[in-house]
Amino acid sequence: MSEYVDWPVETQDPVGLAVLLPGKNYPATMPLLAFAGHAAHQHGWRVRAVSWNVPDMDTTSTIDWVGAQLRDAIGEFDGRVLVVAKSLGTCSADYAARHGFDAIWLTPLLHVPDVVDAMSRSSARQLLVGGTQDSAWDLATARMVGGDVVQIEGADHGMNVHDAVRTAELHVEVTRAIVEWLQALP
């Protein structure tokens, strides 16, 4: 079962609901999702951060389970939805594509064919962000999916390198890319 934390709403007329979906071991309080949430919040989105305990499952069950977590996080909200997902959270791509949700895919699982297929079917705007030292990332696949692509040189699956200062700089680069992408949303 998932839990949700709604960030304080600072506008009477939010753009929509931005749902932050974590990775298996990467909660929404970690830098990539926290900064993406701040960027969405800054651009007028209502932000809902999801936390979960992931059961052991096969790939098909995982995709169905993560999609159900997204569905449940959205609940009765009937406005515009933005999915901001890290790693395992990107298994929500099928649900997001079927509902036309714009999405920011952080370190997407591009080695999972069903995730790539779902992202490729999406007619919504997408931003894919990955690092060259991430085994789940493939630049050619990201470009084939469509949407905007940001590749970070030397970054691993957590968007980290061995140098703390450079890791912080990488997170700033990703956050800038997210802010620019959000500014370009219609």
CATH number at residue 54: 3.40.50.1820
Strands in 46-51's sheet, in edge-to-edge order, are 3-6, 46-51, 17-21, 81-86, 102-106, 126-131, 148-152
CA angle 85, 148, 128 (to 5 degrees): 25
Among residues of the chain, what percentage have pLDDT more than 90?
90
| Per-residue DSSP letter, 15 | S
Shortest CA distance to 26 belongs to which of 158, 133, 182, 170? 158
Whether 107 contacts 30, CB under 8 Å: no
Shortest CA distance to 108 belongs to which of 73, 84, 82, 81? 84
What's the rounded Cα separation, in Å, for the pair 24 and 54?
7
- pLDDT tens digits, residue range 13-43? 899 999 999 999 999 999 999 999 999 999 9
Q: In which domain, by residue range, is 92 found?
A: 3-183
Shortest CA distance to 6 belongs to which of 35, 46, 44, 45? 46
Amino acid found at 103: A
- pLDDT tens digits, residue range 135-171? 999 999 999 999 999 999 999 999 999 999 999 999 9
Q: What pLDDT was estimated at residue 5?
A: 92
- Split into its structural domains, the chain has a count of 1
Q: What pLDDT was estimated at residue 186?
A: 85
Shortest CA distance to 22 belongs to which of 88, 70, 91, 110? 88
